[in-house]
Amino acid sequence: MGEPTDTWFVREILAHEQALMRFLHRNWRDHDEVGDLRQEIYVRVYEAAMRQPPDSPKSFLFATARNLLADRVRRQRIVSITAVGDLEQLNVLQDELEPARWLGGREALARLARALDRLPRRCREVVWLRRVEDLPQREIARRLGISEKTVEKHIAKGTRMMADHFYGGSEAGAKRDETQKTHARIRKTT
């Protein structure tokens, strides 16, 4: 960058402040935080521009804004263990689970683990990344080096196999597989 970063920033970034503020007000429910969000976006853009100015400043500004909002949403979903701390010190009533309910939850978790273990390796990876780690299909495809369509097929197959395990047992899945094979044989002969 031939010109100082400050001059570039004022000309290329601050020129879009009104559009950025409209974007933030439309996409962030707590309007009291919008000013802080704007400042954090500006800091990120400025620091990145000091290393390498973006080719398309306006696009970079709004991509940075979207990424910041996504980061904030992800952080809000996470419950800190230290925030919970020692429940006894909070001096509130604890909802004690009765033993049968506690045992039922443990059994359901064990069934879920068994259902996941029964999935083919790649299918299990895809289901885990999508359902547990909550990654988008595009990211899963990129990470595993497969197409998004293949990711969709693995998710559908994994969901079907797990549903069979939970609701139909292994016999239902085996019967469905046998029925599909029979239909395939019939189609080949006709």
Name the pTM for this structure: 0.42
Note the pLDDT tens digit of each residue in 16-69: 999 999 999 998 888 888 999 999 999 999 999 998 889 999 999 999 999 998
CA–CA separation, 56 vs 58, rounded Å? 6
Q: Are 165 and 133 in contact (CB under 8 A)?
A: no
User: Tokens in use for 41?
Assistant: 């976006």
Give the lowest-confidence range in 30-44, 54-68, 77-91, 131-145: 77-91
Residue 63: give the domain boundaries: 4-187
Task: Give me the count of residues in the chain.
Answer: 190
pLDDT confidence tier of residue 177, bands split at 50, 70 and 90: low
DSSP character string of 17-63: HHHHHHHHHHH-S-GGGHHHHHHHHHHHHHHHHHHS--SSHHHHHHH
Among the residue ranges 44-48, 154-158, 185-189, the one predicted with the least confidence is 185-189
Q: Which residue type is seen at 188? A: K
| Total domains present in the chain | 1
Residue 1 has pLDDT above 50, yes or no: no
